[in-house]
Every structure is written in structure tokens, then in C-alpha cells.
Structure 1
Amino acid sequence: MLESLTNVLPHFRNTNSGQFFLMAGPCVIEGEDMALRIAEKVKHITDKLQIPYIFKGSYRKANRSRIDSFTGIGDETALRILQKVSQEIGVPTVTDIHESEEAAFAAEYVDVLQIPAFLCRQTDLLIAAAKTGKVVNIKKGQFLSGEAMQFAVDKVRQSGNPHVILTDRGNSFGYSDLVVDFRNLPAMRSFDVPVVMDVTHSLQRPNQASGVTGGQPALIETIAKAAIAVGADGLFIETHPTPATAKSDGANMLALDQLEALLTKLTRIRQALQDEGSIAPIST
């Protein structure tokens, strides 16, 4: 198991290479072979482009539209796969938790605990995550402004954990759409935390009549480019070898074979910004 990211978080804060970092992987852990294959492929790409990489995979999906939606292969089974990814591929891992009692359990296996957007105001959940000492990645609620996330950050910090990341995933627009307000990224960065753009979830089309969330994956490159241009410290991208067969969120995923070309374009944008001095590091 890799040591907690709390000892290496400055590496993910644009203070050294100036590069953005990447959280990427499948929406949910579907099995060991697939998780290792995705992690190995993404690690190969990010090593080549010198992008710090955190493998993402949910060990269980709690927020489903329908009772027959896929939720996971078993909590401990999936968490052990995340642990194996960390050990064999040599990357940190992140997974989401949904209730306070899950925090300590999941923290035994992963490096970063993620708070889902709909749960970002849940005080007990934030405190429980903070108490593990792990890095806490809080997704901004679809119903909140970037400025309102100050209070979520405060809950973690005032619980004795200074290691916080904030992630934007768009704002609700009507009943069945999301829009991205890029003002939220500098607003959240003003709290002296790394900020991430969740590119793929921000392109969801939720609350479809079928009970299966839709998406607009053709716009992944557009949102990612804009986020880097605005100064995001990191990107969150769900990817899968065959999104059409993914057991969760396939409608808004990036096909794995398209990831390298996208990241190559994004590193060029980041380099251009760095060359003109537009990337200001946050303190560590």
C-alpha cells in the first residue's frame, strides 16, 4: 500500500512541474483484470506526459436512479482490488464514501477519500473522512456555488485535517441537464486548496425518463480544455475500454483509446499558460 498522499500532496499542487494532475479510471470497480488493465494503460500515458496520476474507482455506487442498477461487486472485494492497483501499478487511489461509518473502513485500502457532490454538506461524513488523516476530495454540490464550498473545507480543516481537494462537476440546469460555470474554479482555489474539474460527470444528462443517466461525451475535450485554461490544478475523467458496455455512467465516459491524444493537447495548453506566467502556485 502506498503511503498516504498527505506526505506528497505538494506534488499535486503545481508547485514543482507546473503540470496538472489526473484522477482517472472506471466509474465503478467491475473486476480485477479490468481495473489493472485501465490503471496500467493510464499510468503508461501519464508517465510519458509527466502527469501525476491517481487511479479512480468507486467500490460501490450508492446513488442510482433505479433499484436494478449495478452497484458493485462487493465492498471488500472492490476495495482489495483498489489496494492491488496501488501496489502493482504504483499509483495512489481514490474512491467515494457515502456514510460516516464507511470512512475508516475505506481508508484502510485507499489514499484519497472522495465525498460525492450530493453529500458535500453532510457534516458527520466530512468529519469522519477528515479523522482518517487521508486526503479528502470534496465534490461541489450541483446546487451550490463555488464560494459556498468554503464551509465544507472548514469542516475538514477544523477537524484536524488540512489535506483537502475541491472538485467541480457542474451545476443543475433545469431538471435534466448540467452546465459548467468556470467562475467556480478560481472561487474555490481562493481557499488555498487544489481544484479539480470533473470533466465527464459535468457532461451527464441526469433524470432521463428511462432511469438511465445520459451524457454528452463529444464535449469532453471542450470542457477539459476550458478547465485547464482557467487554471484547474487537476482533471477528473472516467474512462473505460468500451464505454458502451460499462456497468455505470458509460454514456458520459471517455473511451480509453482516446485518452492519450486528449492529454497531449491539454499539456500543450498548460505549458503555454506556464510560459506566460499565468499559473500561480497555491501555498503548501
Structure 2
Amino acid sequence: MITLAGHTVGPGQKLFVIAGPDVIESEELALRHAHLLKGITARLGVPYAFKCSYDKANRTSGKSFRGPGLKEGLRVLRRIREEVGVPILTDVHEISHVGPAAEVVDIIQIPAFLCRQTDLVEAVARSGRGVNLKKGQFVAPKDIVHSARKAVESGNPNVLVTERGATFGYNNLVVDMRGFLQMREAGLTVCFDATHSVQLPSAGNGETAGERKFVPLLARSAAAAGIDALFTEVHEDPDRALCDGPCSLTPQMFEDVVQSVLSIRRALGHEPAV
């Protein structure tokens, strides 16, 4: 059991939902999505954090859109937090970004490719903010416990571990549903990133492709396997998104996916009665 943005997350608690565009494309678009997603999650009765990146430092191509950068990006996220009234999650790629990000956001995410970077993990943990540790595509479910332990031993028990698919040959990912049980048995609070899990890494001629149609299937499967939180990327027009569009959900798809996940959790006794 952990606490994220004032919400208790873990077995027997309400599903915690993290959603938003992959990257800040513009201030107006980010604000619009925060308002929209706040409304959807309020209607569904789930605790929610808005996610968006100020810098996508790990794009396949150096020509890909990265976002507005640290200073401008955090200004936008601060405005969203204050005006929309939602908790904020964003990712950091460098230790020097942890302090500034911690002044603005509620949850700091460690990207999957950096999940074993000890200094970064410990710096994020020491910030006092909630930690979302993405499980690397190259890390087995049983092994991510070591990275999570780095954060906990740095004095921060509020660590969420997020599954986002494992490398399966070239340009493909697979989700091993057994991993959710293995991670929970290790004492971890677990989240499923349903949209990054359908990526086809570097399969789009220097860009990441994806198979959006499989998101609902995987999300339902993860709900049955036992998850405490759900992470999805949402964009009003995914086919025009500047990053990860092929994986992103439309707002209606997002609402449908969360609704189906909640139905499965209630049927299995994982979701508390309304």
C-alpha cells in the first residue's frame, strides 16, 4: 500500500488512473486535455493524475519532437495543477531536473530505459514526491524489485512500479501477465501502462509505431491479472499527435477502457463498492 498525490493505492483500494498526452505539444492543448480527463475520471469515480512530458529525451530520431523543455514545460504543468486542480506526473531524465520538477509535480516518473540508474532513482526518491518507476523493457518482473528497493531504501516508500511491455525480438513488445502476480508477491504496488505496451519500437522508419487496437484487450487482461493503477496516453486526435500517436487513445476510447477495467475489478472483488 502506498500514497500517491494524497490517494492510497494498492490492494482493496480504488483503481488509480494516470492519463494525458505523451508530451506538451502546446499550453492550450495540455490544458484542454487536463480539463477533459478530469471530467471523465470524475464521472467514473476514480482518483486521477494528469501526465505529460516536458521533454522526450529518448526519442528514436534526433529530428523527432521533444517538447518545450524544462523551464517552459514546468511552467505549463504548474498552471494546470493550479487552474485545473489535478495532481501532476511527469518524467525526468537527469538528476539536475529532479529538484525543479519536485517543486511543481506530485509524482515523478523514472523512464523505463533509466530504471536501473541508481543515482537517478535515489534522487527522485529523496525528492519526497511519489515515484513512478517504469519497468524497463529489458528487466524481468522479479528483477525490478531491486530498483524499487533503491528508492525505498532512500527513504521513500511510495513507489509505484509500472509494466510497459518487454522486448520481444526486434520492433515488438510483449506483456507477460504472470509478471503482475510476481511483482505483487514481492510486495510491489503495480500499474499497467496499456498504451506504451502496444508500441512497435523504431518500426516506423525512425519513429515508434504502435497498435492502438490492442490496448483494450491488454487493459482487460491486466485488470484480471491484478493491477492497482492504470496508465494510458490520451490525445484528442491521435493520428496528428506529435509523439506516440499510434499508441494513444481517443478520449472516448479512454473512457471505455477504464470502464471495462473497473467492471472486471468489481467482478473479481478488487474494486471497493461505490
Aligned match of 2:14: 19
Shift of 1:14: 4.5
Q: How far apart, in 1, do the equivalents of 2:203 and 2:4 lie?
A: 39
Q: Is the 8 A contact 2:262 2:271 kept in 1?
A: no
- Post-superposition Cα deviations, 1:219-246, rounded to whole Å, max 9, x if no partner, equal 0100110111111101110010001111
Q: Is the 8 A contact 1:101 1:128 kept in 2?
A: no
Query: Within 5 A, what are the aligned runs for 1:7-156?
Result: 8-10=6-8, 12-15=9-12, 18-156=13-151
Output the TM-score relative to the length of structure 2. 0.94
Amino acid at match of 2:216: E
Q: How far apart, in 1, do the equivalents of 2:142 and 2:79 lie?
A: 37
Pair 1:6–1:214, CA change in 2 (3 A): closer
In the alignment, structure 2 segments of 5+ residues that lack a partner are none
Shift of 1:207: 2.1
- Post-superposition Cα deviations, 1:51-90, rounded to whole Å, max 9, x if no partner, equal 1101010110000111110011132111111112111222
The counterpart of 1:229, out of the listed 207, 224, 228, is 224
- Post-superposition Cα deviations, 1:90-149, rounded to whole Å, max 9, x if no partner, equal 211111111111111211110101001110000000011011011111000101111101
State the secondary structure of the residue aligned to 1:114: strand
Q: Is the 8 A contact 2:7 2:47 kept in 1?
A: no
- Post-superposition Cα deviations, 1:1-21, rounded to whole Å, max 9, x if no partner, equal xxxx657242x2244xx4211
The counterpart of 2:162, out of the listed 162, 167, 170, is 167
Aligned match of 2:254: 259
Q: How far apart, in 2, do the equivalents of 1:20 and 1:185 lie?
A: 15
Residue 204 in structure 1 maps to residue 199 in structure 2: yes
Q: Is the 8 A contact 2:5 2:130 kept in 1?
A: no
Output the TM-score relative to the length of structure 1. 0.91
Q: Bigger CA drift: 99-108 or 254-263?
A: 254-263
Q: Is the 8 A contact 2:5 2:106 kept in 1?
A: no
Pair 1:40–1:205, CA change in 2 (3 A): same
In the alignment, structure 1 segments of 5+ residues that lack a partner are none
Q: How far apart, in 2, do the equivalents of 1:68 and 1:264 lie?
A: 37
State the secondary structure of the residue aligned to 1:22: strand
Q: How far apart, in 2, do the equivalents of 1:24 and 1:202 lie?
A: 14
